[in-house]
């Protein structure tokens, strides 16, 4: 959606103020409110995964909050068939634990066409220790995983992939305010584009809840997450 330059500046300024306020809350230790951002009221985000207009799977987040602790369980299930013949199978389950707005641990198990991959991440003093497919490494405690539900990923320049545990660098572009069809209704969203080693287009609503994802797959097809 195209918007005029001065309006884009105004919207961008408002989002910068919101980011500043969130950062201030973290600095003051009032992270309970900050960690609530991005969590839907009913605790569930369920998406259809659509490839070139055809539904091929599902992607679901389930949130459980208690005080300053937030537990996020994520499940992805893709079963792509061509003329009823299985072509691609992908299963992924992960569990993120956040304490006072910071990632405390992450575990994931992935099976891609029969090949299993396991990832473990846990806090190690002032950093995170990652045990992944490509070895072990320490990463910045402030890094945000590439699970995308947490809008704070837009305030970073790198992310931690939740399958192999690799660190990917990216740049963020604010595309503008856009209306998105969400569950049959028009919803005003903020549209962002990530480019670099990690590329995604993301849409968040006024409550910072993820409502849309789009990217180009390795085969050149367009994949979208459509909220159910």
The domain limits of the chain are 5-227
What is the per-residue pLDDT for 28?
32
What is the per-residue pLDDT for 36?
57
Percent of the chain with pLDDT over 90: 75
What is the per-residue pLDDT for 12?
46
What is the per-residue pLDDT for 25?
32
| pLDDT tens, residue by residue, 152-203 | 999 999 999 999 999 999 999 999 999 999 999 999 999 999 999 999 999 9
What is the per-residue pLDDT for 19?
38
The secondary structure of the chain, three-state, reads: CCCCHHHHHHHHHHHHHHHHHHHHHHHHCCHHHHHHCCCCCCCEEEEEEEECCEEEEEEEEEEEEECCEEEEEEEEEEEEEECCEEEEEEEEEEEEEEECCEEEEEEEEEEECCEEEEEEEEEECCEEEEEECCEEEEEECCCEECCCCCHHHHHCCEEECCCCCCEEEEEEEEEEEEEEEECCEEEEEEEEEEEECCCEEEEECCCCCEEEEEEECCCCCEEEEEEC
**Better-predicted residue by pLDDT, 7 or 73:** 73
Please give the mean pLDDT across all residues of the chain: 86
What average pLDDT does this structure show over 91-118?
96
| pLDDT tens, residue by residue, 31-84 | 333 345 799 999 999 999 999 999 999 999 999 999 999 999 999 999 988 888
**Better-predicted residue by pLDDT, 222 or 26:** 222
Ranking 4-8, 97-101, 147-151 by mean pLDDT, the lowest is: 4-8
Task: Classify domain 5-227 by CATH number.
Answer: 2.50.20
């Amino acid at each position: 959606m195209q918007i005029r330059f001065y309006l884009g500046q105004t919207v961008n300024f408002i989002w910068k103020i919101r980011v500043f306020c969130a950062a201030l809350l973290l600095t003051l230790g009032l992270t309970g409110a900050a960690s609530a951002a991005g969590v839907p009221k009913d605790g569930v985000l369920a998406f259809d995964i659509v490839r070139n207009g055809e539904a091929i799977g599902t992607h679901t987040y389930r949130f459980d909050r208690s005080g300053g602790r937030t537990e996020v369980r994520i499940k992805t299930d893709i079963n792509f068939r061509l003329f009823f013949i299985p072509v691609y199978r992908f299963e992924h389950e992960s569990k993120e634990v956040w304490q006072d707005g910071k990632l405390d641990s992450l575990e994931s198990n992935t099976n891609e066409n029969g090949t299993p991959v396991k990832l473990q991440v846990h806090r190690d003093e002032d950093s995170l220790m990652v045990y992944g497919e490509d070895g072990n490494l320490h990463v910045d405690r402030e890094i945000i995983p590439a699970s995308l539900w947490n809008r704070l990923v837009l305030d970073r320049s790198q992310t931690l992939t939740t399958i192999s545990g690799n660190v990917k660098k990216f740049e963020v572009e604010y595309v503008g305010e856009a209306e998105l069809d969400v569950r049959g209704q028009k919803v005003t969203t903020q549209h962002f584009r990530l480019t670099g080693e990690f590329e995604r287009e993301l849409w968040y609503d006024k409550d910072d809840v993820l409502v849309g994802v789009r990217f180009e797959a390795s085969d050149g097809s367009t994949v979208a997450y459509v909220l159910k």
